[in-house]
Each structure stands twice: as C-alpha cells, then as structure tokens.
Amino acid sequence: MKLTFEDRGNLREINVQSEETSDKYLNLLDPVNFPFVILTNENDDYIQCAGGKTSLTVEIRVHNNGSFKHFRVGSKNESKIWSKIECKVGPIMVLLHEDLELQNAIELFHLFYRKKDILESYNLRNITRQFT
C-alpha cells in the first residue's frame, strides 16, 4: 500500500509497511500544513481524510469491473444538518454525522489496511455521482 499526503505544500508518497505508518501521518493532520492523507491499495481502492484532528472527513473509493463507488463515512447517528470542514483543500461540506475526529480516522484506516469491512457503527453515504 502507499500513503499520499501534503506536507507544507509538498505532495509526498511513501510505501506503507504497517498500519502504524498511517497512524503517524494521521496524527500530523493540520488544516493548513498537513491537510489530507490518502491510503491506496494494490487495486487503486483508497481511503482518504481531510481536515484537522477535531474535525475531518473520511471517504472511501472502491473499484469493481472498470467502475467505482465513492462513499463518505459518518457515524450511525444520521443528521440532515450540514457542517463545514475548513482546510486547505476545502471548505468541505458534510452532514453533521460525517464530521469526524482523529480517532475515527485511525480506526477506519486500520480497517482498510486490514481489508476489513467498515464497522456497523459507521454509515456510508454513496456520493459517487459527485465524481462521474
């Protein structure tokens, strides 16, 4: 797997040997200087997050037979209220239950790294149409 991130305006990419590698870089999240982290697997599926440690969004893209589906991850407590995540790659408008924190991102990146399904405690909203 590879990890892609922006560090003070420089786009960087590293190979990931363990899930702790993503933890290290997720802990650097900062809305201005370190605004996003993307973990990509061998199928070009990825999980990405953007924002800061206390307010971030997590998205997952999975490929299948030449097409893809793109999801935004949120807590199960669904909301119809919009929230704005301020960051260098934003602002990003999400539903309030999709405005997550660092611990959520770490847990979700671990699941992706281990090739596990997203826990039932999360909600996946299909936002594929925004990218087609």
Among residues 99, 22, 90, the alpha carbon closest in space to that of 56 is found at 99
Q: Domain locations in the chain? A: 2-131
- Name the amino acid, one letter, at 87: C
Residue 40 · residue 18 · CB < 8 Å: no
Task: Summarize pLDDT for 99-126 with one digit per residue, the tens.
Answer: 999 999 999 999 999 999 888 889 999 9
Supply the pLDDT for residue 131: 87
**Predicted TM-score (pTM) above 0.85:** yes
> How far is Cα 123 from Cα 72, in angstroms, rounded to an integer?
8
